[in-house]
Structures are given as C-alpha cells and as structure tokens.
Amino acid sequence: MERNKLSDLLQTDKKNLLNIYSTAGYPAIDDTSNIILNAMNSGVDMMEIGIPFSDPLADGPVIQQSSQKALNNGMTLELLFEQLNEIKNKVNIPLLLMGYYNSILNYGTEEFCKKCQMVGISGLIIPDLPLEVFQSEYEDVFKKYQLHNILLITPQTTDDRVKKIDNASTAFIYAVSSASTTGTKTGISDSTAFLEKLSQMHLKHPVLTGFNINNRDAYLQACKYTRGAIIGSAFIKAISNNVKLADGINIFLSSIIQASK
C-alpha cells in the first residue's frame, strides 16, 4: 500500500515548510498539472489544490475570482481527478485538496475519498466540516483511504478547542492567522501574538499558518513560530500576471524560497 507523503514529510526534521495553494482549472482548465510540477521543481514542500466552488466563504476576492474563472472554464472534480491521475507517478511531494463540503457530498463522500487515494492525495482541508461531524460521520472513511483531515483554528479558537483539535489531528494543524478572508491584508504582524501563543502550547502536532502571507518576510516571520506557511492569494496573483505560466511560478517562488530553506 502506498505510503502517505504528508506523513513522511512531517516525520522529517525539515523546517520552514512551504505549502502553495492553487485553484484547480486556473488560469486555464488544463494548467493544474503544470502548476503542480513546476512548483514542485521550484522547491515547494507540498501543494494545496483548491476545488472550485461558487460560494467560497473563507476566501478573499483573488481566490474567489480564480474559483469562478475555473468554473467558467468548465473545471469539475471528475476532470481534476483525471488530471491528477496522469501525473501521480511524477509527483514526489504531498498533495492536499481544499474544498467545501457540499462539493464532496455531491460527489459522494466514499467515492471521493477512494479517488483521492487512487490519485495520490495525502489529505483534505474542508473549512466547513465541523470536527464533531467529521468524527461521528466521516472519520472511518478517511482512515480507510489513508487521508488526513487537516483541521483549522483561528485567533478566536479557545485554548480548550485548540487542544481538542490537536488531539483529533493526524498531520498538521492549519492556523488561520487572521479573522479576515484570505488575501485582504499584507503580512502577519497582527497575528504574531496568536502564533507565538500556539508555539508555547506544546501541541502534539505541527502548525502551519496561512492567510495574508504574500512575501518572503511574512513567510519567514510565520516560520519563526510554526513549522511552515501556506501561500495562496499571492501565488494566484503571480500566475495571473505572467503570460508564461512557468516563468510566473519560478519568479514568485524564487522570491519566497531564496536562502530560506
């Protein structure tokens, strides 16, 4: 049985992990595979692929627009699974799928999880699936197909809730560094107290943080308190503004990664 790449990565002592978010089917419907492979070759540690959704509540305008464009392009879950299946033997970094639960429910939860395992997905991020619902209804099927469920916390999450999520986690905890939507602020200076508090809680699982990390300084600042950072809106902008996709990916990621690994 294939090993879970995310489990393997987190068991290393590698720090400053870089997770890049990209919307499936954006900028063009057949770009997803090239984005994953180019980002992997540019040195990212994992990729988070967003499932386009018509009402992404937690996402800011940049990711919302990319999601709508992907839907207009004709992107579907079935097509995404086909694209991922074509490159699964070339990918040596963990891939995560981020999406809202309605998309998964409509596809069929068990069939969705089965397909995820088939195409090499290591874990899922489902912002609108509460922990208690996951544990009572879906945890067994996630385990069956060796999928991590990445749980989110925010500055408003109580310490008791953070500990409960830590106990329920199997990979890393996604710390949303701001109560705002993604990509609406610059840097994480408002969130350092939250991240520092988490670092002092001695959680069992590593923390990665995302939301409004858009340059190398913010990335390195986040990594002072966490195992790594997640960059989404800034990456979407980078691949939107370059005519040649590979150049946009390489230029942006070089600006983040340079001498920081």
Q: Which residues are catalytic?
A: 48, 59
Phi-psi region of 139 (alpha: psi -120 to 50; beta: other; left: phi over 0): alpha
- 140, two tokens: 């067994």
Helical pair 61-73 and 233-240, crossing angle rounded to 10 deg: 50
Instruction: Classify residue 229 by its DSSP letter.
Output: E
CA angle 171, 65, 184 (to 5 degrees): 65
Distances 250 to 27, 41, 209 between C-alpha atoms, Å: 16, 9, 22
Q: Comparing C-alpha atoms, which of 57, 179, 31 is closest to residue 126?
A: 57
Distance from C-alpha of 152 to C-alpha of 208, rounded to nearest angstrom: 10
